[in-house]
A and B are shown apart, each in its own frame.
Chain A
Amino acid sequence: NAGVTQTPKFRILKIGQSMTLQCTQDMNHNYMYWYRQDPGMGLKLIYYSVGAGITDKGEVPNGYNVSRSTTEDFPLRLELAAPSQTSVYFCAGRDSGNTIYFGEGSWLTVV
């Protein structure tokens, strides 16, 4: 199993551009999450999903959107990128034993 896979690993965006961070998992998790982590800080929840077709906002959803058309995929869309969205983004899935499996992260810089 590959676990949780995120792409791209690194990306530089200009202010106002849009992009999608891809996340796919092969562990059949129903629960999936997108977090952002600013330097020296903990993880802040952006959006989450409890299953295909069901998504909901987390603590910091503004400026982002998600979709969950399949169990495997949970892409995060950034519309009109702003410098405040410069961060490291982690996608994660949760198993039935309450363990969260994180991807390796996507480093995004908005200039």
Chain B
Amino acid sequence: SQKIEQNSEALNIQEGKTATLTCNYTNYSPAYLQWYRQDPGRGPVFLLLIRENEKEKRKERLKVTFDTTLKQSLFHITASQPADSATYLCALRYNTNAGKSTFGDGTTLTVKP
């Protein structure tokens, strides 16, 4: 079965620095890879989606890369702010899976002022 690993449970960085979160997967590449943000006590909120034929996607201070050779996605937050502190989840979706997504366990990012 598909296994997803997000780099570490927790990541602490200083305000203004770039946060880089990693999502690695086994087996075959998904059609889509998504990143979500989850705040304590809330449901996940969609941030970005990248398709298997795309190398990079950007949205404001967020950037996602997708390397199907390495079976890895990197999620970058530039000029990080304390308000970026949250848990970030990556999710894989395959075309054959009736729209089901498989989620990683998440990385909790803390941005210190």
Identify the A interface with B (CB < 8 A): 4, 31, 33, 35, 40-45, 48, 50, 56, 58, 90, 92, 94, 97-105
Contact = CB atoms under 8 A, between A and B. Distances in A.
Interface string B18-37: 00000000000000101010
Given A31-B99, A42-B106, A98 B9 contact: no
B93 interface: yes
B43 A98 contact: no
Interface stretch (B44-52, B55-63, B69-77): B44-52
B75 to A, nearest CB: 15
A-B interface, 8 closest residue pairs, ranked by CB to CB distance from nearest: A102-B43, A42-B103, A42-B105, A43-B103, A31-B99, A99-B46, A102-B44, A104-B43
B64 interface: no
Interface residues of B, number: 24
Contacts, number: 58
Contacts of B4: 42
Contacts of A58: 100
B83 interface: no
B46 A50 contact: no
26 contacts: A4-B43, A31-B98, A35-B103, A40-B9, A42-B103, A43-B89, A43-B91, A43-B103, A45-B100, A45-B102, A48-B100, A50-B99, A58-B100, A90-B44, A94-B99, A98-B32, A98-B34, A98-B49, A98-B93, A98-B99, A99-B46, A100-B34, A100-B91, A100-B101, A103-B43, A105-B43
Contacts of A35: 103
Contacts of A103: 43
Contacts of B91: 43, 100
Contact of A102 (B45, B98, B104): B45
Contacts of A45: 100-102
B41 interface: yes
B43 A40 contact: no
A35 B33 CA distance: 18
Nearest to A45: B100
A90 to B, nearest CB: 5
